[in-house]
Amino acid sequence: MSAIRMDGKMVSAKVRGSILDEVNRLKERGVRPGLAVIIVGEDPASQVYVRNKERACEECGFYSEKYALPEETTQEQLLGLIDELNRNPRIDGILCQLPVPKHISEQAVIDAIDPSKDVDAFHPVNVGKIMVGNFDFLPCTPAGVMQLLDEYNIDPKGKNCVVIGRSNIVGKPMAMLLLHRHGTVTICHSRTQNLKEVCAQADILVAAVGKVDFVTADMVKEGATVIDVGMNRKNGKLCGDVCFDEVNEKAAYLTPVPGGVGPMTITMLMKNTLKAAKLHAG
């Protein structure tokens, strides 16, 4: 039997609808959420993401500004722009698309954003707040995964949850959110021994590896929920980390790529920006 497809497009449309309703109510108080998106350089994947973020802002009724800076922008110039945006009252959220060019320190960029405008939730202040379970913003991709699990009534409580990948953006915060929801969480990575066996114990398996066809059917427990966070290209086509066709026959729930976690990530960015606007409005 095939797995139930977890439809991120459908869930996203629903959440964006409720964000738009709230934005319309805020309008009466003269509040309009504003997001600034910065992109440095010409990375084609980043350009697609940034375009999708701008579209999502329109759909949700947000004010948005886009800053497309050339590859040779200096760190000082970028930090200068972030400083201006930190002080701009029309802007509630600031997102600098990663990766930035090699001559710019990613951490310096993250540290420069006012934590109250850090809608990625990458600033150490926000990372710390997530760790202790008292946060304003959740990191977008893990938050999108949690919302998808909730929509399909999949409760991590007491379950074996295995996250493959330990990035600051996805793997580590994903593990933390599953832990907050009482999952028994294991983080696997490139040095993990017996990776297949560990994954095959998972009731909820989250793949955030960045490698095409990394998760095969022998790594999946019968009836598991498999969440594919991968965004890879295979012969020019967008695909995830999971061998969809074979895992589809073994899992109970599975996210497609595209149309699974991807749309949820941007929707969570919108949710964070709305939250920032409400915090700034008081």
User: Cβ closer to ligand GUN: 112 or 243?
Assistant: 112
Q: Which residue is nearest to ligand GUN (CB)?
A: 98
Query: How far is Cα of residue 137 from the mean position of the Cα atoms in its chain?
Result: 12
User: Cβ closer to ligand GUN: 49 or 244?
Assistant: 49
Cβ 36 vs Cβ 89: under 8 Å = no
133 is in an annotated binding site: no
Site for ligand GUN in 131-150 (CB under 6 A): 140-141
> Binding pattern to ligand GUN, positions 82-121, x when CB under 6 A?
-------------xxxx---------------------x-
Cβ 67 vs Cβ 58: under 8 Å = no
Q: Cβ contacts of residue 89 below 8 Å, gap of 6+?
A: 280
Tokens of 185: 């969480």
Q: Which one from 53, 159, 250, 271 is the annotated catalytic residue?
A: 53
User: Is 53 tagged catalytic?
Assistant: yes
Q: Which one from 92, 117, 118, 120 is the annotated catalytic residue?
A: 120
DSSP calls for 234-281: ETTEEE-SB-HHHHHTT-SEE--SSSSHHHHHHHHHHHHHHHHHHHHH
Rg of the chain's alpha carbons, rounded to an integer?
Answer: 19
User: Cβ closer to ligand GUN: 96 or 204?
Assistant: 96
* Shortest distance, position 197 Cβ to ligand GUN, whole Å: 30
166 is in an annotated binding site: yes
Site for ligand GUN contains 35 (CB under 6 A): no
Q: Cβ contacts of residue 248 below 8 Å, gap of 6+?
A: 2, 3, 254
* Shortest distance, position 173 Cβ to ligand GUN, whole Å: 11
Binder of ligand GUN out of 169, 204, 239, 251 (CB under 6 A): 169
Cβ 241 vs Cβ 228: under 8 Å = yes
Looking at residue 153, what DSSP letter applies? T
Rounded Cα gap, residues 239 and 147, in angstroms: 21
Size of the site for ligand GUN (CB under 6 A): 8
Cβ 162 vs Cβ 199: under 8 Å = yes
In DSSP terms, which residues pair with 227 in a beta bridge?
Answer: 206
* Shortest distance, position 158 Cβ to ligand GUN, whole Å: 29
191 is in an annotated binding site: no
* Shortest distance, position 44 Cβ to ligand GUN, whole Å: 13
Cite the active site residues. 53, 97, 120
- Where does this chain bind ligand GUN (CB under 6 A)? 95-98, 120, 140-141, 169
Residues flagged as binding site for NADP(+): 165-167
